[in-house]
Amino acid sequence: MQDNVILPQWLDNLIFDQLGAKYCRSNADMTVIDWDKNDILNYLGTYFPRSYAESYCIFSEFLTKWPNRFMNKTELSVFDFGCGTGGEIIGLVDALNNLPKLKYIHIHALDGNYHALRLLEHIVNRYSDKTNYSIILDVIPLIIEDFYDFDVLSSVLEEKYDIFMSFKAICEFVSKERFEHQNAYTHIARKYHSRLNDDGIMVLADVTSYNDVSQEWLPRMMDLGLAQADCRIILKNDGYNQTFVVSHKKKQKDISKIAWRIVSPDNRCCNVGLQIL
């Protein structure tokens, strides 16, 4: 399956003309948390558009297949774990634009890179002028080094969420062995599965590469991790990954491939069939 997206013109102009984003593709494992301002501007021009397209298509598909899930919601709460510059956040709120009763979105966005968070705030502020509902953004500048930092984070997150999402961030925890030899997907799924509202969803998306540190394919790690966490997958990409294509002024038909899973807190049904690498 292939999804083609054109970056909205206002967003294209904002990130490239006003914020100075650069297109600079790299196939190396990304550890965005360590990057300086110039690195983040390269990330903004290269990976922000991809994350926007991936998120917009994934959430649009979810809302098509589960049309009643958020249909009557007037408010939504979102937690983005490892938000970076927020391409997936803008993709999400664009996909939510068709919800007829939505008036308010409260987004908690966690990341350890200060430069990325500042760009995210600027972009969300500009987007707020272009939508019919109100967006409240709370950034959480926190570096997750170990299990203790999760306890610190839990102390400031008192509510439950309609949407928990993490796009291409958990791979960094795998590469840096943040959880020793534990499966990072298992740990994060167990930690935040219980923080979902009854009709909430958890969306995990990640790159599909082989990780040299874990010596495992990341989609396989994700599936095994979610199974170990006893999560019910209600929607996922076909096969090993899904191809997304996004076009903007710096690159036509830029391609990304990710694996993604959507989890429901309702465990009364079994998981859909998993396809393991």
> Does the residue 270 lie in any domain?
no
- Both tokens of residue 163? 């949407």
> Does the residue 272 lie in any domain?
no
> Residue 52 maps to which CATH number?
3.40.50.150
The domain in which residue 124 lies consists of: 2-264
pTM of this structure: 0.90
> Does the residue 126 lie in any domain?
yes
Output the pLDDT for position 206. Answer: 96
Low-confidence ranges of the chain (pLDDT < 50): 1, 27-29, 268-277
What's the total number of domains in the chain? 1
